Amino acid sequence: MIRRDFLRAFSGLLLGGMLMPLHALAAVWNKAAFDSKTLKEAESGLQIPAETVSSDIEIIAPDKAENGAVVQVEISSRIAATESIAILVEKNPTALIAHYAFSNGALPYVVTRIKMAETSDIKVVVQAGGQYFTASRRVEVLENGCG
Amino acid sequence: MAVANDIKMRAQLKGDYTEIKVLMTHPMETGRRKNDFDEIIPAHFIQLVTVTLNGKTVLDAQWGTGISKNPYLTFRVEGAKLGDKVAVIWHDNHGASSSQEIEVTAA
């Protein structure tokens, strides 16, 4: 049993190590942006200088969320050459929820489930061809999902 | 693989695109919740998720603590064929990771 556990742990380490070394990992995750409390700080952490409001970003989310612990959000961008989609919630303890970068044939579309502390705008920022575009959608939250 | 079956996934060819759905098992603790003894439960959450198609990265996700427990993710890729290999790997803030690989199937 001990030997098996060891082998399992070891092979996991080996595989993880091969695919992405730990030091590289620390460099990839944007700590400054994810630690930010406010929308503004998070956006400067993501190095978003300025953004244009766009109707080519679609956000599908419930008008009212019974429980803020699980709010399903579907986002698609019709902006040509969309490279990434960032999701922010203005009134959460930390504003930045997720950042998705698409490559090698991935379409600018994502469905994800997020936590919301209270009624707030969900803000989406799309990066396309070195420019930033944004859209927002308000979700009324009945029960705090951030614990 | 750390835990072989804690990632459920599916990749279905749906005409012009392939839809990839991933369900991961993870507590996604924010570091702000308290237990019954009024002690803070330390943050424990997935920070990075990478999905590859035949070894090429198609999606690079960075997550904060605002992703729900047992994360769910759907996205779409163009140009995949039946039998192509789709792999996902995640890394959390404790240095743990898990991965899974499947083949593209018909819808």
Beta-carbon count within 10 A of A27 CB: 10
Cα distance from B48 to chain A (closest Cα, Å)?
Answer: 7
Q: From A30, A116, A57, select the one nearest B61 (Cα to Cα).
A: A30
* Separation between Cα atoms, residue B69 and residue B93, nearest integer Å: 15
pLDDT band (50, 70, 90) for residue A2? low
Residue A86 and residue A30 in contact, taking contact as beta carbons nearer than 8 Å: no
- Which residue ranges in chain B fall short of pLDDT 50? 1-4
Domain assignment present for residue B62? The answer is yes
- pLDDT, one tens digit per residue, over A101-139 is 999 999 999 999 999 999 999 999 999 999 999 999 999
Closest in B50, B67, B78 to A98, CB measured: B67
- With beta carbons under 8 A apart, name residues in chain B contacting A93: 30, 32
Domain assignment present for residue B1? The answer is no
Domain assignment present for residue B2? The answer is no
**Mutation for testing the B interface, residue in A29, A82, A88 having most B CBs under 10 Å:** A29
Residues near A12 by Cβ (< 8 Å), separated by ≥ 6? B1, B2, B97, B98
**Mutation for testing the A interface, residue in B65, B78, B86, B98 having most A CBs under 10 Å:** B65
pLDDT at A26: 46
Cα distance from A52 to chain B (closest Cα, Å)?
Answer: 23
pLDDT band (50, 70, 90) for residue A27? low
Q: Length of chain B, please?
A: 107
**Mutation for testing the A interface, residue in B34, B62, B92 having most A CBs under 10 Å:** B62
Q: Is B17 on the interface with A (CB under 8 A)?
A: yes
pLDDT at A136: 98
Closest in A11, A94, A103 to B1, CB measured: A11
Q: Is A123 on the interface with B (CB under 8 A)?
A: no
- pLDDT, one tens digit per residue, over A36-89 is 999 999 999 999 999 999 999 999 999 999 999 999 999 999 999 999 999 999
User: Hunting for tokens 């279905």 — which residue is that?
Assistant: B12
Amino acid A2 reads: I
User: Hunting for tokens 């409390």 — which residue is that?
Assistant: A37
Domain assignment present for residue B99? The answer is yes
pLDDT at B8: 96
Question: In angstroms, how far is the first alpha carbon of chain A from the final one?
Answer: 37
Q: Is B54 on the interface with A (CB under 8 A)?
A: no
CATH number at residue B43: 2.60.40.10
Domain membership of residue B87 as a residue range: 7-106
- pLDDT, one tens digit per residue, over B51-64 is 999 999 999 999 99
Please answer yes or no on whether A96 and B68 come within 8 Å at the CB atom.
no
Domain assignment present for residue B73? The answer is yes
Least confident span in A5-14, A87-96, B44-53: A5-14
pLDDT band (50, 70, 90) for residue A144? confident
ipTM over 0.90: yes
Please answer yes or no on whether A112 and B66 come within 8 Å at the CB atom.
no
Question: What is the number of domains present in chain B?
Answer: 1
